[in-house]
Structure 1
Amino acid sequence: MQCSYFDAGRCRSCSLMGRPYDDQLTGKQRHCEQLLPAGVEWLPPVASQESGYRNKAKMVVAGTVEHPTLGILDTDGRGVDLRGCGVTAADLRATFDVLAAFVTRARLTPYDVPTRRGELKYLLLTGSPDGELMLRFVLRSQEPLTRLRKHLPWLRAALPHLRVVSVNLQPEHKAVLEGPREIVLTEVTALRMRVGDVDLHLRPQSFFQTNTAVAAALYRQASEWVAEVDPATVWDLYCGVGGFALHLADGRRDVVGIETSHEAVASAEAARDAAGLTSVRFLAGDATAFALSAGDVPDLVVVNPPRRGIGPELAAWLESSGARHVVYSSCNAASLARDLAAMPSLAVRRARVLDMFPQTDHYEVIVMLEREGGGLGRDQSAAAAEISST
């Protein structure tokens, strides 16, 4: 893939841009193999489409009301327009000119970082596989809200697939994308995100993977590994909107998902209820605190932490917990390797690289850990218990 923005030096976010895709994938596989222990069974890496894979766009708004830019900022804080960004999904790119026109129509003054003046900081856009859209306006204050509401019918007529629209208030001048307060402006409050056989429900402040097709492959891989060991109880720590938990639910298995974000938990519960999955529970809370305070231990734990990893406390708990299996999904192989070193009783049996972020040096990796001397599935455990009682 070639990018005119990259070639012109206007945007360097995609650090591998222009490198043959097979070379990118081979390099990511090699990098991950070097970080993880020897003796792992490696499955073939999961490739992505090279372009148009991003289901979300985080566009900095700059320039003027009459001539807004949608993209990023340069080193001087001036807007660099990236409406033609090739890694962004085509249905999102098709909205950018309309959104720029809406900024002008609603008189939404772009926020100017050097002078700290203006109102509109970001446009956050998410697209579903069915072509539906969620749009969030990140504003410095509520001052433009009346104008935004007034012109919203025009925007919805221009973008008929726009399902959810909200305003996020971020009054502070700092490098934080959004603030805690969200004002939903539409009757629909969640975007339906079809992933494999599961419909997730994304509320405005809930996280979902950037690459829908590769996310589906990630959940599918976890489901296959978990089905092989057939645990009766599963914890999904850092569960987000419930992607792993909902894919692992089989009607018999007791699944608990833990996530700090109340919005994400609400999203997960909505998807669970719509699917009629009565054996899945979601709780808002800190994953480490939940594990340390729980009185029981599940057969299998799924962890999908942010880039920093699970950290020493949770790693120590998993090491001593007695849980037979752990599925660890990581977007940072370096922190994964550090966490694995703190859990020597849990051996990496299988691993797979999934290229969630083509054209960059980032990727996802999922590993299946098994406690040394463990590994009995649900049916095997029942049979062992019956034998021991006779």
Structure 2
Amino acid sequence: MHERRGPHRLPLVDTHSHGVLHGELGIGSFERYFGAAAGAVPGGRGAGSLFDTRAGLALLRWCPPLLGLEPRCPAVRYLARRRELGAFAAGRALLRGTGIGTFLVDPAGPLPAPHGPGGPAGYGEEDLTSPRELAQAAGGRGHEIVGLDRLAVRAAETASTVRSLLTGSADALHTAAGRGAVAFVCDASAVAEPAAPGIGEVQRAAGRWLTDRGRRTRPVRRNTADPTLLRHLLWAALTTGRPLQLRCADPTPLAGLLEAVAGTGTVVLLPRRPHHRAAARLAAAYPHVYADVGPDPRHTLGEAPFSRLLFSTGAWGLPEMHVLRVRQFERGMERLLAEWVAEGECTPAQAHRIGALVAGGTARRIYRLEDEVVAVG
């Protein structure tokens, strides 16, 4: 088995990420995607290279050795080596160097706007690797996270009546669960209202959506499902036994929803910075709620039981982002747990157990991956 450097010593489970780009990238394209994926979209003219940022320094520290170069080599040398190897071989080497053994992949998800300021123009979901392709490149296993919005949109594309829309979306939900979807995912902003919608409310929403669809001249885009239908699907998804991931900014307003669904199913909070601590507190308050551990475990391990926090990269576009997010997590865990051991707050064995839970132990349990411990590297 590949020896892990972190305190957990087992392959990681990345509980939420996206695919990486197919094809070669020039220097300009690489920087645009890197900026979008790292949340550091470059500014106007003369703003400088993204390699001259904290994220750029991290990339040049951790990624070059995986491609046979010395750490902290010049950016031009790294990009030349990347092109020399080719996108497939470079991506394979980078992904296998992460130590991720299992990927839970959102094929769509809240990807950055392709035409945003400085963002990469002209890319789409089809430009990213599928869960299977990502896992094959990494030498691990991949599973799809199914978006409730996608289910609703697909059902609406073929439905002709309110009944067929509701029946089709329900069938799609249970078919996805039966075919091995490990989780469902939804934007919390669309479903934050705590009460389940009544059947009359759902039928009226379905009718409005079908009427609006008939007036459109273009196909329904993803992430545009009616909020009432999404709330209806959310409650139905919780009954399938699969965890429901909620993408959110600040999760605090979701307390009412989390209380309302108690006893129905498992919810995993995916907050944005700087709200991971708030998500951990909600995980501590509700036994059916779990939370992403975030970029700095020091902020969350003190707020929730260790068995309620999960690792994810949230990475997309460039395999380098998977590397950076893993290294950030591992270094944060190593420093924190070493400090706890040194101060006598836990034993080395307890530190190992904590690291193993967050890195993948809890994820294997709640996502039913108990038999998936694969060697990587």
TM-score bracket relative to the smaller structure: 0.3 to 0.5
**What TM-score results when the alignment is normalised by the length of structure 1?**
0.32
Q: Which has the higher contact order (CA 8 A, sep 6+)?
A: 2
Bigger Rg over Cα: 1
Q: Which has the higher strand share?
A: 1
